[in-house]
Amino acid sequence: MCGRRISVADPPRSPGSRWTAICPVSRLIEQTFVRARIGGNDLILIWDGGRAIACERACPHEQADLSRGRLSKGRLFCPRHAASFDLDDGSITAGWPSRALRIYPVQIAEEQVWIDAEAVTSAAS
């Protein structure tokens, strides 16, 4: 544990922009998982295989905290029942009675990781 506080408050967003800056890329690389909140929706950013991925934080099965999961070969494993999700499309391990994990558009610009906030809020409604 590094002892650094993780902010889960809504980050500032430029007026008229659908993209919200979440954290510096360097922080995501260092921590692998960064928690965030957009419009009341809890998310996680993940650094995996040299890319940034944004997804919902609660497991679609029984809402375990996926920021406590583990990564292996492009999949995120839930800490509670060990179902896993493909980080390309969110699909869950075959045979599990749950929907896919929501994956959100993400981009890296100006040394920050940005999430498409409109995609997050529209997926939740």
Ranges within 73-92 binding ligand FES (CB under 6 A): 78, 80-81, 83
Q: Between residues 23 and 46, which has the closer beta carbon with respect to ligand FES? A: 46
Per-residue contact flags (x/-) with ligand FES for residues 49 to 68, judged by CB under 6 A? ----------x-xx-x----
CB of 58 to ligand FES, least distance (A): 8
Residues 62 and 76 sit within 8 Å (Cβ to Cβ): no
Task: Name the residue nearer to ligand FES (CB basis): 72 or 107.
Answer: 72
Q: What is the DSSP string of 16-29?
A: T-SEEEEEEHHHHH
The footprint of ligand FES (CB under 6 A) covers 59, 61-62, 64, 78, 80-81, 83
